[in-house]
Amino acid sequence: MALPQDIRPVNSEVADSITRSAAIPWIETKPGQAWTKVLWVGKESGRWAVLLRWKKGYVAPPHKHLSGAFAFILSGRIKVRDTTYGPGDFLYEANGMVHGATEALEDTEYLFMCDGPVLFFDKDGFTGYRGWEEVLRMQQAAMPKAAE
């Protein structure tokens, strides 16, 4: 069935981006405690999407969002600031949001989508950065390991 002219794509060069997440390797980001699965990196926009898997007791360091971020909890529970989130909960964190450590109260898996970079810090100051470039490097470094 052909699409009516008024709903055909304006640019036939644009294609969907499909990720077969079951085929993507988990990247261990903190030995035995935290893993990331890179789902998508938008080089043209600076956006990125990952699945995060944290073991109970894992604590993500304090950080600041330099863009909006979204999270959807798939399983487990995490504590963000003074609120606990569980399966089915959706979070939006605005540009400029600063918060302390985020803790996994149970083994947790969640979808995280970010419109730009995140800065990590501790009591002494800046400790790290995660933006689309770093997420892409993580993904590229993990791919050869998946083929072994």
Residue with tokens 């995140």, as numbered in its chain? 118
| 132 assigned to some structural domain | yes
Sign of the Cα torsion 38, 73, 20, 53 reads positive
Residue with tokens 């644009």, as numbered in its chain? 14
Q: Are 49 and 110 in contact (CB under 8 A)?
A: no
pLDDT, position 147 = 52
| 12 assigned to some structural domain | no
| 13 assigned to some structural domain | no
| 6 assigned to some structural domain | no
Number of domains making up the chain: 1
| 17 assigned to some structural domain | no
Helix (H, G, I), strand (E, B) or coil at 59: strand
| 137 assigned to some structural domain | yes
| 128 assigned to some structural domain | yes
| 10 assigned to some structural domain | no
Domain with 30, as residue range(s), is 24-147
pTM of the model: 0.83
pLDDT one-digit tens code per residue, 1-55:
555 555 555 555 555 677 778 888 999 999 999 999 999 999 889 999 999 999 9
pLDDT one-digit tens code per residue, 84-94:
999 999 999 99
Please report, for the domain that includes residue 104, its CATH number. 2.60.120.10
Give the pLDDT mean for 57-84: 94
Q: Are 26 and 35 in contact (CB under 8 A)?
A: yes
126: enclosing H helix or E strand: strand 125-130
